[in-house]
Structure 1
Amino acid sequence: MTEQNTRLGIGLMVLTTCIFALQDGISRHLAEHYSVLMVVMIRYWFFAAFVIAVAARQAGGLAPAIRSRFPVLQVLRGLLLAAEVCVMVVGFVKLGLVASHAVFICYPLLVAALSGPVLGETVGWRRWLAIGAGFVGILIILQPGLAVFSPWALVPLAAATLFATYALLTRYVARGDSAAVSFFWTGTVGAVAMTAVGLWHWEPMAPGDWFWMAALCCTAALGHWCLIRAYEVAEASAVQPFAYLQLPFAAMLGFFVFDERPGWNVVLGACVVVSAGLFTLWREQVRARARAGR
């Protein structure tokens, strides 16, 4: 990759995190007034149409995107991501954007911790220390045992676990399926699953809220397009650390739009988790360079 492409990839990742933070804010607004299942279902309809359109434009049309070496795991991936989106939106409503994201950003640490038993990868003692430090940060945020602790704080932790499992399965199926195949199955399986449960929770929407629903669908498609482009023009190791910017973007949105005031424990815990996550990413890069003999 050239330096110019790396800079472009970083810029696209920063834009992606901003768009996804905006998407989360819109999701929270809609889910405060309508069923979470219905909101996510409509979002997935648009997402499925987007991935089908993208696949249809590729050489060979839809057929190459449909063919998978791991169809069962691809279905499981799609179900996990759909469940994670629903759980996370519930967290936005119950806890707010800031606290939910502060807990959710532990998912890279969960990926690192589970990569051994799931993928057979070796996790060194330095990364185990970082994982342990990250979970200390989570405990700082959750404040277990204190009177202010809310069981709803476990919701984004559950979402992080679901997303980490989804990420690990994505890495596993990448051994035989292209990113285009995984992207296609993610959108279509999620749309089918959410339609099966979401139609039972359909509610009439106010005309003005259809504008926000359209904005939610557009930001979801645009965010995923930017993410795909970021990984196309730059190495994942170069752009992945910038994914943590979604937390400050979501925090600004929560502060200025939803009047959220995060406590000291949320700020301190988030800093610990992000630091541990960045260290884990750095160690993965060091190991990758060592394996490549550089």
Structure 2
Amino acid sequence: MTEQNTRLGIWLMVVTTFVFAMQDGLSRHLASEYNTMMVVMIRYWFFALFVMTIAARQSGGLKRAMRSGHPVVQCFRGALLVVEINVMVLAFVYLGLVESHAVFAAYPLLVAALSGPVLGEQVGWRRWTAIGVGFVGVIIILQPSGGVFSPYAVIPLCAALMFALYALLTRYVARTDSAATSFFYTGTAGAVVATLIGAWYWQPMTAPDWAWMALLCLTGVSGHYLMIRAYEVAEASAVQPFAYLQLVFASTLGLVVFGETLRLNVITGAGLIVAAGLFTLWRARVREKREKRRNP
């Protein structure tokens, strides 16, 4: 039964990464025509509605979902994710899907590197080695083209750093709050912050682009639902490595639809980052199993 659930979880994660890659493509298209912060704001309205609907259907309803041991941190998490999404969408516009995702793939390594100072976790020499290899990959990707370094290359790296901090804060609040509570604050607090920012940049949209916006919102909601289901039916350590497929799907979309190019240094750097990330995930899984044997 466990094997069947794990297999289902893996397939759900594969579909999730495909849906999120399509979302990234839609975000790039809309953000190239309209203000990024407005696009993110509308996307968050639908996300907040989805989160509140999910919370209302759970035992205890919205009141229970709002109950948190760290409400300030939860709200900060929601705000941080909004800023990260804005930054990442800007990266799609200025740098493209291929290189943006190649650099952003370093976020699990940033999580591992920062887990010590933020959460007080121990990071062994093997994981530090993997982190170092991963960042060599980042440097290879950011290699100056023609001897001139593009400042746009730093945008997805900033997004990766913010998302890593968001992930660490999620693990921090998980010590007292349920996943449903964290999900609720991610959507609702995020929608408030996104509106406070995006409302100043409202632009009229054409009917065809409203259709694309509706599809963007649909991919956002369905992607999060599929991700929730993936983590419900299988262990996170079993399905998380397949999240790297988003790099493959998004890069393919960038190459085929947006006419982006795939440079050798990006392939090499991304390969190092993914390999280091997979090793880091594997070491985390080994550590979890070891702790379970010590504390059955």
1:155-185 deviation digits (Å, cap 9, x = unpaired): 0000000000000000010000000000000
- Alpha-carbon distance in 2 for matches of 1:183, 1:75: 11
Alignment of 1:1-294 (within 5 A): 2-144=2-144, 147-293=147-293
Q: What amino acid is the match of 1:163? A: F
Identity value in percent? 67
1:157-216 deviation digits (Å, cap 9, x = unpaired): 000000000000000100000000000000001100011111110000011000000000
- Alpha-carbon distance in 2 for matches of 1:176, 1:143: 43
Tell me the CA shift for residue 289 of structure 1. Answer: 1.1
Q: What amino acid is the match of 2:81? A: L
- Alpha-carbon distance in 1 for matches of 2:181, 2:264: 43
Tell me the CA shift for residue 83 of structure 1. Answer: 0.5
Q: What amino acid is the match of 1:235? A: E
Q: What amino acid is the match of 1:215? A: L
Tell me the CA shift for residue 146 of structure 1. Answer: 5.5
Tell me the CA shift for residue 262 of structure 1. Answer: 1.6
- Alpha-carbon distance in 2 for matches of 1:130, 1:241: 15
- Alpha-carbon distance in 1 for matches of 2:31, 2:173: 32
Secondary structure of residue in 1 paired with 2:33: coil
Q: What amino acid is the match of 1:267? A: I
- Alpha-carbon distance in 2 for matches of 1:138, 1:20: 22
C-alpha spacing 1:144/1:123, structure 2 compared with 1 (3 Å): farther
- Alpha-carbon distance in 2 for matches of 1:138, 1:37: 27
Secondary structure of residue in 2 paired with 1:293: helix
1:57-116 deviation digits (Å, cap 9, x = unpaired): 111211110110100110110011001000000000000000000000000000000000
Aligned length: 294
- Alpha-carbon distance in 2 for matches of 1:29, 1:111: 30
Q: What amino acid is the match of 1:149? A: F
Secondary structure of residue in 1 paired with 2:123: coil
- Alpha-carbon distance in 2 for matches of 1:28, 1:72: 32
- Alpha-carbon distance in 1 for matches of 2:122, 2:182: 25
Q: What amino acid is the match of 2:96? A: G
Q: What amino acid is the match of 1:47? A: F
Secondary structure of residue in 2 paired with 1:32: helix
- Alpha-carbon distance in 2 for matches of 1:245, 1:197: 31
- Alpha-carbon distance in 1 for matches of 2:65, 2:275: 37
Secondary structure of residue in 1 paired with 2:48: helix
Q: What amino acid is the match of 2:15? A: L
- Alpha-carbon distance in 2 for matches of 1:63, 1:222: 24
Q: What amino acid is the match of 2:64? A: P
Secondary structure of residue in 1 paired with 2:68: coil
- Alpha-carbon distance in 2 for matches of 1:102, 1:212: 25
1:218-245 deviation digits (Å, cap 9, x = unpaired): 0000000000000000000000000000
User: CA-atom RMSD, angstroms?
Assistant: 1.0
Please, which runs of 5 or more residues in structure 1 have no aligned partner?
A: none
- Alpha-carbon distance in 2 for matches of 1:167, 1:144: 30
1:11-58 deviation digits (Å, cap 9, x = unpaired): 000000000000000000000000000000000000000000000111
Q: What amino acid is the match of 1:213? A: M
Please, which runs of 5 or more residues in structure 2 have no aligned partner?
A: none
- Alpha-carbon distance in 2 for matches of 1:5, 1:100: 33
